[in-house]
Amino acid sequence: MPKSDNQKLKLLYIRDYLERNSDEAHPVGAQELITMLANHGIDCERKAVYSDIKALQDFGIDILNRRGKNGGYYIGSRNFELPELKLLIDAVQSSRFLTEKKSRELIGKLLRECNRHDERLMHRDVVIDRRVKSMNETIYYNVDAIQDAISRGVQITFRYFDWAIDGSRRYRDKEYMASPYGLCQDNENCYLLAHSPRYGVTHYRVDRMTNILLTDEKRVPCPELTGPRLVEHANQLFQMYSGENVGVKLRFHRSLTNVVFDRFGHDVMLIPDGEDHFTFVVEVAVSPIFLSWVIGFGEKAKIVYPPHVVDACRALAQTAIDQHSD
């Protein structure tokens, strides 16, 4: 590259170097900038560096100067403060509807927003739990397609699948058609709230949708999913669970396979128990909310072990019966 072209890039090199290498605890001196520019084939004197820093400050970049011994220049404010980046990274780490691959890509982009000193510290805290991550790599594009359909006010078609007991996909025979109205999250999963010609107001797990196509047909009017009522419907539809963790063995009907994978992830081992049931052991939050969740499946689900959790479930069920006996 001709020397003149390198000179044109000088301001960009200085800005990039300060953003990646400086903070209040690690200021960058003029000589360090001169050495960096020399590595890019740019000859620069100290006076020119001062002039370039002034030009970047005039442009609006918050470059501060710490004077004295071990002083130098550093970026004062960034697009994201460190606590904000940690919050965003935590959200990506815990998001169930993002795959492990997409989570790592997004976290990598977020880490590039901080300097290399903070990036090294942040890397230590990046732990992605594969057990609860979606296995559908297309979910990122599913969300984009759904948002596009919502903004255009058109219906979509898609395929929908269930999880089999061996963890493989089982596609439902028919192609689905729906009028999309909103996306929401519950228990770290992403759901589409929509109007279906067959089911009326309903919802679909976005990571179990494939082959999403926008149609030319306008969305079916649905007052229940319009304006503030969309949020009200989402709040009524979903619940959250919490409590103290205990290892619990459960026995479920095969028709609840999707429920088990959705809640506990795909690393849970399902052991066939007869033709219509399976058992599994998980560490769960044992609380009245969890016990009510199990009871809600009726004869299709029961707790096998440990005895004190079985007793707690029976007691809760009996309390409910007594409460409604009159």
- SS3 track for 92-149: HHHCCCCEHHHHHHHHHHHHCCCCHHHHHHHHHHCCCCHHHCECCCCHHHHHHHHHHH
Task: Flag whether pLDDT at 256 surpasses 80.
Answer: yes
Averaged pLDDT for residues 234-262: 76
- The conformation of residue 221, written as its DSSP 8-state character, comes to P
Residue-wise pLDDT tens digits, 179-226:
999 988 776 678 899 999 988 888 898 989 999 999 999 999 999 898
Task: Flag whether pLDDT at 124 surpasses 60.
Answer: no
Which pLDDT value is given to residue 27?
92
The one-letter code for the residue type at 134 is: S
Percent of the chain with pLDDT over 90: 37
Position 160 confidence tier, pLDDT thresholds 50, 70, 90: very high
Average model confidence (pLDDT) across the chain: 84
**Do 138 and 210 meet the contact criterion of CB atoms below 8 Å apart?**
yes
Percent of the chain with pLDDT over 70: 88
Residue spans of alpha helices (H) in 158-306: 228-237, 257-264, 288-295
**Cα(302)–Cα(294) distance, rounded to whole angstroms?**
7
| Mean pLDDT lowest among 72-76, 83-87, 171-175 | 83-87
Which pLDDT value is given to residue 240?
38
More confident residue, 139 or 121: 139
**Cα(26)–Cα(75) distance, rounded to whole angstroms?**
10
Closest CA to 211 of 152, 134, 136: 136
Say how many residues make up the chain. 326
Q: Which among 119-123, 304-308, 318-322 has the top mean pLDDT? A: 304-308
Query: How far apart, in Å, are the Cα atoms of 152 and each of 156, 158, 204, 215?
Result: 11, 17, 20, 10
Task: Flag whether pLDDT at 242 surpasses 90.
Answer: no
**Do 135 and 157 meet the contact criterion of CB atoms below 8 Å apart?**
no
**Cα(304)–Cα(282) distance, rounded to whole angstroms?**
12
Averaged pLDDT for residues 24-51: 91
| Mean pLDDT lowest among 11-15, 135-139, 272-276, 298-302 | 135-139
Averaged pLDDT for residues 27-53: 92
Which pLDDT value is given to residue 7?
73
**Do 44 and 138 meet the contact criterion of CB atoms below 8 Å apart?**
no
Q: How far is CA 236 from the centre of its chain?
A: 22
Closest CA to 72 of 109, 41, 30: 30
pTM of the predicted protein model:
0.56
Averaged pLDDT for residues 37-49: 91
What DSSP string describes 283-319?
A: EEEESHHHHHHHHTTGGGEEEEE-HHHHHHHHHHHHH
Which pLDDT value is given to residue 235?
63
Position 133 confidence tier, pLDDT thresholds 50, 70, 90: low
Hey, is 188 helix, strand or coil? coil
**Cα(136)–Cα(209) distance, rounded to whole angstroms?**
9
**Cα(249)–Cα(271) distance, rounded to whole angstroms?**
11
Averaged pLDDT for residues 146-156: 94
Which pLDDT value is given to residue 238?
52
Averaged pLDDT for residues 314-319: 87
| Mean pLDDT lowest among 60-64, 94-98, 110-114, 246-250 | 94-98
**Cα(193)–Cα(178) distance, rounded to whole angstroms?**
9
| 236 burial via Cβ count (<10 Å: 0-12, 13-18, 19+) | exposed
**Cα(227)–Cα(35) distance, rounded to whole angstroms?**
58
Task: Flag whether pLDDT at 76 surpasses 90.
Answer: no
Which pLDDT value is given to residue 154?
96
Residues 6+ apart with CB under 8 A from 248: 281, 282, 283, 284, 286, 303, 305, 306, 309
